[in-house]
Structure formats: structure tokens, C-alpha cells
Amino acid sequence: MGSGIFRSSINNWQEENSSKHLFLFLIFLQLAGILPPETFSSRPWKITIYNIYSALSLLWFVPAMVAQIFALIQHWGNVSDITDITFEVAAAISNSSIGLYLMLNRKQLQLIISKMQSTFYSYTKHLQFNRKHSSILSEALRRNAIFSWIVIISNCSSILIWVILPFILWHTEMKNEEENTSNIPDQGTHWKYFCFKMWLPTKATHSPLYQILWAYQAFPIYSLVQIFTGYNLMFFSVTTFTAAHFKILATILKDCTKTKLLSHSIKDTEQGLRNSKSSNGSVLKDTGYVLQAKEKFNKVVVLKYCERNEVAIHKNKEPEWITGTDLNESEAGIAQQRYETADYLVRCIRYHQALLEFCDDVNTLYSPLLFISFYMDLFMMCTTVFQVTLGSEDQSYFKFIIAAISVWVPILLTCCYGEHLTEQSLAVQEAAYECSWYNSSPRFKNHLLFLIMRAQKPVRLTAGNFFAVSLEGFSSIAHTVYAYLTVLRQMHDS
């Protein structure tokens, strides 16, 4: 786009990158049966089919978990097998519960996505949103994309190791033995040909029974990975997006007192325009100030001190807030009313209130999810580390290495994102105090005081309102996992 429509470019950039920001986790939520695509809303029959798919993706877990419980009873007393099956059952319970919760709260989920796409834009378009602020959002999205792809690759590796590898092993080792029906592997050799341990009928490794059982096990793992990836990526995206906006608000507050307001008569305004070229897109020169103008003049004209002394004038545009760093690409319009610095601060306060309200909505949706996830992850984190420490020589060792990465990395990132959001929310009060409030009006000071008082209360996402999602919370989880792991090692050694 041309330099004369810089703010329009910024606004379009926000909308386009918001869509990209949502793109990854929306795909996984749709594949998991949690959130139907927007194109389905106009077709009732498509919604019906999608709801049937959603129900099947969850109901499929029930018989699988029942078969796993039977296997748990069969192997009772063997610590290695018990921890193996416990991990699988815990993963199924955790992700099926999260999937069901999100399906029942689709409206709240759609509300959060809608706010991410449009709400913040309606506030930033009235503020000094320039390239510095767009770079903050761009860097946050870039960093989030990196971590998101780490989680995606990790979870795709889980499908490869847990689903594809067993089928390859069966195809290479067992297919040639199908004709010899008397050569049936013992119970111990069954597992490496299947996705997870559960009760199996006799001759389970023979075709076509094996293909049926393998497909039966593959589908719940597929659903589990889609749910796990979808809600984790959404949490990363939401917290990154919100933290970036808190940071943008902080930088805006630091500069909120730089706008200078001077009153001039209509004659002064017209005289000033006569000293410059009056056609649309012409250059207006002045010694240190930029004059905003339009076809109809008001009694009050906004003058802003700038580092440059020329700016392009474009007619028929609403007045915008600009800074000296944007002069080479900014637009000038007429000031139809007097924008005082306190009025501008009110816009910042409304922006801050919108962010706080959005965080409350996110916490309302995600608090039960994080509670389920954290407490079920305790078992999964402990059992995966225990299985890895056993040092098995078969493919189950690689299974649990990938499983450990898939469990530990997302929960660590979740706590890091929660900590980052808290830090950026607290940065607002520091930025507000750093502005030149001492040269401002009493009205401005009163507004700023209340803003600082509210910003002193940090934004904290919680897991079931029991503990905050932060690095301190992750440290507590890690200590608990270590305690459980010590007990399991003692049980195994004895």
C-alpha cells in the first residue's frame, strides 16, 4: 500500500494477522469435533453430521478404556505394566473430558475467538497504533508460531510412534507367519504390534482381526492428539495475543502526554493553509508542528510537535492520533472537536478494561480445563518418566520418550505463557507512572491514579481457582512428580 494510507495498512495488518493467529488451533479444534467450521452454519444437515462425528469421537474412548481396565486387572502386581496402562487411561480420561467440556461450551469458545478477531481492533484504531506497536504484535505472533509448531511436531511424532510404528512392525514380522496358525505369539509379544495395552482376544495378531483391532485403537489416539493439540494451541495463542496487547497499551501510555493541543481561530487556520499548498495530497511545511486540516474548519485545530516538518494532507479523513515517528507515512485530517490528553487517556482506560474483561472470559473457560489437565498430567508426567528410567530395549522405550516430551513441554509452555501474561499486565502500571503526568491536568491525574490502582492487581489465570498458572506452579508440579516417581522406583525395586 502507499504511504498515504499507513493507518489503513496497520488496521488491515491487524485483521489479517489475527486470522493467521487463529488458523492453526482452529484446524485442530475442527478436526477434533469441538468447533464446526463457519461454512457449516448455513447448512443444518452439515451441523448434524458434524455433531454425530463429535459424539462418536468421544464415545469411542469408552470401550477402549473398559478394555484397558481389564488389562490393568490382568497385569496387577507388575509395576511396569500398571504404570504403562495408567498413563494411557489418564490420557484418555483427561482429553475426553476436555473435549466434552469444550463441545458443551462452544458458544463461549466462539465468543473468545470473535473478540480476538475484532474487539481489540475497535480500540486500537482510536489510539496511537504505529509501526512500533505492530512490531510488538508481530514478534509475539512469530514467537508463538515457533512454540506452536514444536507442539505440533511433538504430537505428530506421537502418532508416528504410537500408531504407525506398531503397524509397520506387524507388517514386517507377522505377515509371513499368518499361514502358520499354530505359531501364536504369547501375551507379552502382543503389545508391540498394537497402539496401547488393553484386553485382546486370542489370535489378535492374525489378519483380518489385527487390522480391525489396530483401526479401533488408532481412532481414539487420533482424537486424543487433535483435542490435546487444539486446546493447547488455543491457550498459547490467546495468552500471547493478550500479553502483546498489554505491552502495546503500556507503550501507548508512556507516550500519552506527548500530544500538544492549541486553539486557533478559523482565520488562523485558513491563513495557515494559504501558506501551504491546498490541494489534496499536498505538502504542508511548518517549523516543528503538523497542522491537521480539512475542507471545513473548526474553531479548534490540533497541533502536534513532530520531529519532521512536512506531512501529506489527505481530505475527507477522520482525525487520527499520530506521532513524529509516523510522519513519513501518516495522514492528516481536520480536528472536529478538542481532544484533550485526558480524553485520550480515557480511551486507553477503555482499552485496558476490554483486556481485563477478555482475560476474565478466558479464565472462565480455561480454569476447569487447566484443573483437569494439570492433575491428570501429574500421573502422565510421573509414569512417562518412570517408563523411560526403566530403559526398556523395545519400541515402548521410544514411545514413552515421545510421550514424556508431549506431556512435559506443553505444560511448561502453559505455565510460561501464564507467567508472561501476568508480567505484561503488571507492566501497565509502571508505564502509566512513567508518563509525564506531572505536567498534565488534574482530570488527567485522577484518571491515571485509578488506572494505576487497577493495574496493580495482576492478571492471573488459574487452574480451577486452586493455584495460578505460572512458573511457580510448574515448580510445584515438578516437585510432586519427583515425589511420586521416588515411590514408584521403590515399589519397582522391592
Q: Which DSSP symbol is given to 105?
A: T
Three-state DSSP state, 263: strand
Residue predicted with more confidence, 54 or 399: 54
Owning domain of residue 302: 261-338
Give the whole-angstrom CA distance, residue 345 versus residue 443.
Answer: 10
What is the pLDDT averaged over residues 18-38?
A: 79
Asked whether residue 324 falls in the same domain as residue 395, the answer is no
Q: What percent of the chain has pLDDT over 90?
A: 23
The predicted structure's pLDDT at residue 49: 93
The predicted structure's pLDDT at residue 392: 63
pLDDT by residue (tens digit) across 467-493? 889 999 899 888 988 888 888 888 877
Give the whole-angstrom CA distance, residue 300 versus residue 295.
Answer: 14
pLDDT grade, residue 415 (50/70/90)? very high
Count of structural domains within the chain: 2
Asked whether residue 120 falls in the same domain as residue 96, the answer is yes
Q: Which DSSP symbol is given to 192?
A: G
Residue predicted with more confidence, 257 or 483: 483
Place of cell 487463529: 22
pLDDT by residue (tens digit) across 352-408? 999 999 999 999 999 999 998 888 888 888 888 888 887 665 667 778 888 888 889
Asked whether residue 282 falls in the same domain as residue 334, the answer is yes
Give the whole-angstrom CA distance, residue 61 versus residue 93.
Answer: 8
- 380: cell is 502422565
Give the whole-angstrom CA distance, residue 356 versus residue 354.
Answer: 5
- 116: cell is 480476538
- Output the CA–CA distances (angstroms, integers) from residue 275 to 82, 215, 285, in the order listed: 87, 80, 8
pLDDT by residue (tens digit) across 324-363? 334 333 333 333 333 467 788 888 899 999 999 999 999 9
Asked whether residue 133 falls in the same domain as residue 56, the answer is yes
Asked whether residue 304 falls in the same domain as residue 352, the answer is no
Asked whether residue 200 falls in the same domain as residue 328, the answer is no
Asked whether residue 250 falls in the same domain as residue 360, the answer is yes
- pLDDT for residue 293 is more than 50: no
Asked whether residue 116 falls in the same domain as residue 192, the answer is yes
Q: Which DSSP symbol is given to 332?
A: B
Asked whether residue 329 falls in the same domain as residue 349, the answer is no
The predicted structure's pLDDT at residue 346: 87
